[in-house]
Amino acid sequence: MGRFVIRRLLGVVVLMFIVSAATFAVFFLGPKFVGADVARNFCGRVCNEQSLVEVKAKLGLDKPIYDQYGAYVKGIFVGRTFGSGETARDCPVPCLGYSFKTDLPVWNQMTDRLPVTFSLAIGAGLIWLVSGVAVGILSALRRGTLFDRAAMSVALAGVSLPVYFTGLVALSVFSYKFKWFVNVHYSGFTDNPAEWAKNLVLPWICLAFLYAATYARLTRANMLETMGEDYIRTARAKGLPEKVVIRKHGFRAALTPIVTIFGLDLGGLLGGAILTESVFGFPGVGKLAVDAIGQQDLPVILGVTLFAGFFIVMANLIVDVLYAYVDPRVRYS
Amino acid sequence: MSRNKLVKAGSVAAVLALGAAACGGSSSGSKPTSTGVKATYNAAIGGVVNKSTKVGGTINYVASSDFDSLDPARTYYAYSWDYQRIYQRTLMMFKPVAGKDGASVTGDLATGAGALSDGGKTVTYTLRDGITFETGAAIKSADIKYALERSFAQDVINGGPGATYLSPILVGGKTYKGPYKGGDLASIDATDPKKIVFHLTKAFADFDYLMALPISTPVPKASDTGRNGGANYQFHVVSSGPYKIATYQPGKVLNLVRNTAWKKDSDPNRLALPDKINLIEGLDSADEDQRVLAGSADMEIEGTGVQQDAQSKILTNPTNKVNADNPSTGFTRYISIQQTVAPLDNVHCRRAVQYAADKVALQFSRGGPIAGGDVATQLTPPNLSSYKKIDPYPSGSDNKGDLAKAKDELKQCGKPSGFTTKIATSNKGKGPKTAEALQQGLKRVGINAQIVAVDPSTYYSGVIGLPSNVKKQGLGLAVAGWGPDFPTPYGFFESIVDGRAIKKDGGNSNYAELNDPAINSLIDQAGSETDASKRNDLWAQVDQKVMDAAVILPFVADKALTYRGPRLTNVYINQAFGIYDFVNIGVTS
């Protein structure tokens, strides 16, 4: 197991290198092919040739692309200094550069927004996991009943309705009409836990509704398949109580693909719940990405891409490790 | 807001009396009052809605995004300039009053308009007594000098308009690099802590207006050093107005509280009514509208207008409608017709475009008469003093184009069956729809245009603002718009039609590269004309000549549907910004 984890961690490093190199090339080399100049994004609208030269020198954009990438990677591990003399700016480890638009360090911007995205993703993740799996199991066990049909219809709606729809409907009804959740905005957990939770209720529900639907359908299908297996029949024939058969033999086997997809979904969301954050105006990593894309703020786009990539890769790793515990049939060599 | 202007001192002659005449400056500040009016539709355009002096309470503003910067030397958004007036003071300021007078300036830190000497080449301001930073330290002329100097440091504080405006005007400005590398700029004399003296290359009539921009917000040099200085100053700005920043989390919140060091005696322009002013940033636009209509927020500050859903909720509901306004923003939306790209180098081909365009379709691409604005027939926006209605290229009785005349012009151009060209546009906002509306209109007479959509971050600076690129890509038509940084005809026209303002190496705003000696001469004459009526006549001639050249196809004089929360007091549109003035707004509860 130890060797497996180390091997996978090395794979993560290689993968992150490839992702960073490819993303860097797309954003910093790509524009050159269409005659655009990256430095103009930082130069502002009042941009002339002289200020363009100064901006290039300050950001190191006047150097060859491989030097720029080398400096970028080096900055992540040992930090970096932009400019020189009295106006030099130190970018501490891990340096992902400065935003073209706000002049804030990219790393600080992302870590500053991470609590928002974590609050959203983990809370919603718990809700959709518990509710989705529970509904899926009950539907499977009550196949063909009114509950099963109703639950699957709701699940279908959940899969079909995007967050930007359910979010706006939820705001219209519960915030503007009934005023149960007035002025929904992100409030820090450490500032006021009650406010934090209250403001997150609607985003959690909307985000969880989308995912729970998928999980309910997946769990139901897995449970139905598992409960039809020979070993379930054997367990029943041995006289095991039905609850034990379901919990220890049926549910555990059906859980394996759920763990896989949950890990990936959560990993993806930690890189930014773009739509939910945008609809509710939550200043998370996803909103940062949307704003950066809109402003062509390349260092931020690059940083968020690496950030999101890191979470997905790490989620994959964790899922693989968890497999061994969830499903004894899985063995690592 | 297109504010990309190079102010050319060369166009203004030395006239001693001109500064005061042109700037309308007062000597003792402007009483922040105007006629109080009841809340009705459009009431805030000319009057003060819910006039009050009630102190206390909290205002809750919302915005869809963060300011471009809180650094006064860097910010360039109209609403950001307006908002900074709450907690920052400048040498001069746009009068905090409703109606046309809001477009004129008055003394803020200065006691009044600049005193001119040496044939208008020396401008002297005297500072008020009792002016302080939030630290309690007295504001000295050196703090304003330093603030203006740092706006030259474009490699450190990029994006602001300071260097562009000031470098041609101030002696030594063209080679000055800012205080970080260039040391001291001798043409700004702050020897006397109560006086600041500017030495200009030539007299410049609108200098008081320049000093009303955030670039003249005082900056204490000691606060602009080390980790908190330079580009980082925007996160540690020192207030000089009645409020100071309590919390600033970029993209999240900006909360203001009272600045106890501010002395009311030193500031005749600000009422400072609420105790706290909160701003939540980064909200979805539709959500912003809903919050304001539901009363959980008081106002959206960007002033770009409510979304379509909210428009119907406002216009069809009398209770909501009395709290709404539909002001002119001061922008003219137009299509730049590039005379450097064949066959548009032929005036008849350009005129064919003027006649063939469907102005109603173009108007609706901007949102229609309410959210978009009125159909425009000339470059001058209606709120400028020099506005005189002209319509050189009538688009028929229905404003949908005069196809017969367009075809006739095509014949004269030698392209009777039309031609092909490209339409450049930003790929965000209303640009793509505008380009499509233009494309459809031109197609009716055989002008086939391919749309080239570009990201807005480089559209103005490096695509249509780079003359060599326009020619290289054959961008015959370009979707554009313009509003003045300061509401004078000079502030509106100079950058976009003065041939001497063409910037060959990028950041050009005279997109069509219009360089007509007759127009340039009229601009010079208007700049030196002391009589306001004659000056307006000259600017009207500029408008006429630009239209005669057919390089600009104006189609909409911008408007926006905006909403003011009913509990807000002292609400009015400030003509200088075309949006609500935040300076003296209070709350009833």
3-state helix/strand/coil string of A71-90: HHHHHHHHCEEECCHHHCEE
CA gap B358, B67 in Å, rounded? 36
CA gap B73, B86 in Å, rounded? 16
CB distance A40–B458 less than 8 Å?
yes
B4 confidence band (pLDDT: 50, 70, 90)? very low
Inter-CA distances, B91 with B24, B131, B146, B149, B366, Å: 15, 11, 13, 14, 37
Neighbours of B581 (CB within 10 A): 26
Identify the pLDDT of residue A320. Answer: 81
Identify the pLDDT of residue B86. Answer: 97
CB distance A44–B159 less than 8 Å?
yes
Identify the pLDDT of residue B1. Answer: 43
Place of tokens 């205080």: B179
Identify the pLDDT of residue B392. Answer: 96
* Mean pLDDT value of segment B277-304: 90
Best A38, A40, A42, A45 member to test B by mutation, with max B CBs in 10 Å, is: A45
Question: What DSSP line would sit under A179-196, residue for residue?
Answer: -SSTT-----TTT-HHHH
Residues A41-82 have pLDDT tens digits of: 777 655 667 777 877 887 888 888 899 999 999 999 998 888
CA gap B341, B214 in Å, rounded? 38
Question: What residue type is assigned to position A56 of the chain?
Answer: K
Q: What is the DSSP letter of A239?
A: T
Is residue A159 within 8 A of residue A215, CB to CB? The reply is no
Size of interface A-B (CB pairs under 8 A): 141
Chain B residues touching residue A52 (CB < 8 angstroms): 505-506
CB distance B506–A40 less than 8 Å?
yes
Please say if the pLDDT value at position B172 is more than 50: yes
Please say if the pLDDT value at position A327 is more than 80: no
Topology adopted by domain B12-319:
D-Maltodextrin-Binding Protein; domain 2 (3.40.190)
- Nearest chain B alpha carbon to A59: B155
Please say if the pLDDT value at position A329 is more than 70: no
- Measured in angstroms, the CA of B281 and the nearest CA of chain A are apart by 8
CB distance A296–B282 less than 8 Å?
no
Residue B282 has its nearest CB partner, among A51, A55, A283, at: A283
Identify the pLDDT of residue B7. Answer: 30
Please say if the pLDDT value at position A4 is more than 80: no
A188 confidence band (pLDDT: 50, 70, 90)? confident
pTM, entire model: 0.81
Residue A168 has its nearest CB partner, among B286, B297, B472, at: B286
Task: Give domain limits for chain B.
Answer: 12-319, 328-559
Neighbours of B318 (CB within 10 A): 9
B481 DSSP β-pair partners: B333
For the question of an ipTM over 0.90, the answer is: no
CB distance B457–A279 less than 8 Å?
no
Identify the pLDDT of residue B24. Answer: 35
In which element (H, E) is residue B83 found? helix B78-87
Name the H helices within B99-178.
141-150, 162-166
Chain A residues touching residue B293 (CB < 8 angstroms): 176
Superfamily designation of domain B328-559 = Dipeptide-binding Protein; Domain 3 (3.10.105.10)
Chain B residues touching residue A87 (CB < 8 angstroms): 153, 155-156, 180-181, 230
Neighbouring residues of B314: CB distance < 8 A, sequence distance ≥ 6: B293, B306, B320, B321, B323, B324, B561, B563
Both tokens of B559, joined, read 């408007």
Domains and CATH numbers, chain A: 2-91 (no CATH), 106-326 (1.10.3720.10)
B556 confidence band (pLDDT: 50, 70, 90)? very high
CA gap A266, A286 in Å, rounded? 13
- Nearest chain B alpha carbon to A287: B282
HSE toward the beta carbon, residue A1, CA cutoff 13 A: 9
Q: Does B255 touch chain A (CB under 8 A)?
A: no
